Amino acid sequence: MSDPSPAVDLHAADAPPTPADACLPAPSTGEADATIRYVDSCDLPTPWATFRLHGFIDTASGKEHVALTLGELDDGEPVLARVHSECLTGDAFFSQRCDCGAQLEEALRRIATEGRGIVLYLRQEGRGIGLINKIRAYHLQDLGADTVQANEDLGFAADQRHYGLCEPMLAHFGVGALRLMTNNPAKVVALQKLGVLIPERISILVGHNPSNQRYLSTKREKLGHVIGLPAE
Ligand SMILES: [Zn+2]
């Protein structure tokens, strides 16, 4: 597809605070006011397909975010999608403490198989606490805390992620409806409250291993993720 016009500020649709957002601290700029600037795009060959990689800048924070796309997305049909929050340890270092890397790879693989889809890659490491605090949280987990306790012991909410940038990023590609690959119903609700239609949630049950069994159990029991786990 041809890339949309460059360097324009994109604004999120107005949306009221939501129950799903209520567990999140108020973002500095407000979810509904999220503004992002599209910068440029390029080809990105991967083992599964040659995607287009698109760069955006959050005008409030200066943070850089990207989207990977494949195929024609603006035909009105729901788009196979993953909204993936950055996990350097899982996405790049093959960490077995979580399932992020396997989920990202599976999402790209499924999109390549369909020939059409989008990954929004949001730079909110460690459920929004940042990389160094994530290392501190992992240290607490080494000492016995679970993934939610660790973040809370450091003074953070269990999940500090925000999705306000998704709506203007999707609008940039003419995408209004997603077939969303996620095990997290709260993410579905948060995006719907921002005006994104999600006619289908698609489970993405990959990357389970002995090292992340407790992490996944905690996500299921404390964060409401829909995850079928082997007998514990
Ligand atoms: Zn991870």
From the list 40, 153, 161, 220, the catalytic residue is: 161
Residue 97 is labelled as binding a ligand: no
Q: Is the pLDDT of residue 29 over 60?
A: no
The string of pLDDT tens digits covering residues 201-230 is 999 988 888 888 888 888 888 888 887 655
Q: What pLDDT, on a 0 to 100 scale, did the predictor assign at position 15? A: 40
* 103, 206 Cβ separation under 8 angstroms: yes
Give distance in angstroms: CA of 8 to centre of ligand 1: 31
Q: Give the range among 114-123, 192-201, 218-227 with minimum mean pLDDT.
A: 218-227
Give distance in angstroms: CA of 224 to centre of ligand 1: 17
Q: Is the pLDDT of residue 188 over 80?
A: yes
Give distance in angstroms: CA of 74 to centre of ligand 1: 30
Q: Is the pLDDT of residue 40 over 50?
A: yes
Domain ranges across the chain:
9-124+161-223
DSSP for 131-192? HHHHHHHHHHHHTT--HHHHHHHTT--S-----TTHHHHHHHTT--EEEEE-S-HHHHHHHH
Residue 136 is labelled as binding a ligand: no
The string of pLDDT tens digits covering residues 48-94 is 999 999 999 999 889 999 999 999 999 999 999 999 999 999 999 99
Residue 87 is labelled as binding a ligand: yes
Query: What is 9-124+161-223's CATH number, 3.40.50.970, 3.40.50.300, 2.102.10.10, 3.40.50.10990?
Result: 3.40.50.10990
Averaged pLDDT of the chain: 85
> What is the pTM for the complete model shown?
0.83
Give distance in angstroms: CA of 97 to centre of ligand 1: 7
